């Protein structure tokens, strides 16, 4: 049976996180040999496993997390919309580059509603199923304005960095 200990160590030189696994076995004692244990501080086998601290290529999911609230707030600014319509507009206007599925969109809508940034109300129309329409609140308008201002400053800064310098 083996005694196993594990730890995570940061390595600033390589910007990698290391998982360290130490294992000391309780092998049968041979004449003149020594039993090792983790408590003694003498460990015969140490295995290092390195993996990147951060993914070098952010996925669409990461970009979406940072902008999801702003996208939803901006779509309900003009007029009240229901969740499915919001989802389809995001997909359509982004040319399919950004998509929200029910599992992620509705919890976000409920969270925005709990914060007081949007307000939802149920609407029933004849021949259609009941839908919850969301509209922007006064507080939501202030938040959206601040988010848009910050987003535009961020994009402008990124553009200044990535544009080739004029010769």
Among 27, 52, 77, residue at a domain's last position: 52
User: Looking at the structure, do residues 36 and 112 belong to the same domain, yes or no?
Assistant: no
Encode the chain (167 residues) as per-residue pLDDT tens digits. 444 444 444 544 444 444 444 444 444 444 444 554 445 554 444 443 444 444 445 555 555 566 899 999 999 999 999 999 999 999 999 999 988 888 889 999 999 999 999 999 999 988 988 999 999 999 999 999 999 999 999 889 999 999 887 54
Q: Which two tokens stand for residue 27?
A: 């092998």
| 8 shares its domain with 72 | no
- Same domain membership, residue 156 and residue 74: yes
Domain that holds residue 154: 60-162
Give SS3 for 93.
Answer: helix
> What is d(CA 119, CA 103) in angstroms, rounded to the nearest whole number?
20
> Do 64 and 111 share a domain, yes or no?
yes
Residues 130 and 73 in one domain: yes
In a domain, 167, yes or no: no
Question: What is the C-alpha to C-alpha distance for residues 61 and 40, in angstroms, rounded to an integer?
Answer: 46
Q: Do residue 96 and residue 151 come from a single domain?
A: yes
Residues 15 and 69 in one domain: no
**Domains contained in the chain, number:** 2
The stretches of 5-137 forming alpha helices (DSSP H) are: 60-78, 83-93, 102-115
Structural domain includes residue 93: yes
pTM reported for the whole predicted model: 0.60
């Amino acid at each position: 049976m083996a005694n196993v200990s594990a730890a995570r160590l940061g390595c600033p030189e390589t910007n990698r996180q290391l998982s360290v696994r130490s294992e000391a076995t309780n092998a049968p004692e041979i004449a003149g040999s020594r039993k090792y244990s983790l408590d003694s501080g003498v460990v015969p086998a140490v295995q290092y496993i390195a993996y990147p601290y951060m993914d070098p290529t952010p996925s669409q999911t990461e970009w979406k997390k940072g902008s999801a609230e702003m996208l939803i707030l901006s779509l309900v600014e003009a007029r009240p919309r229901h969740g499915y319509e919001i989802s389809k507009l995001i997909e359509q206007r982004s040319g399919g580059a950004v998509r929200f599925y029910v599992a992620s969109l509705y919890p976000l809508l409920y969270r925005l509603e709990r914060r007081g940034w949007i307000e939802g109300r149920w609407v029933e129309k004849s021949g259609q199923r009941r839908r919850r329409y969301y509209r922007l609140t006064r507080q939501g308008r202030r938040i959206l304005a601040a988010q848009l201002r910050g987003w535009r400053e961020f994009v402008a800064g990124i553009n200044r960095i990535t544009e080739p310098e004029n010769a």
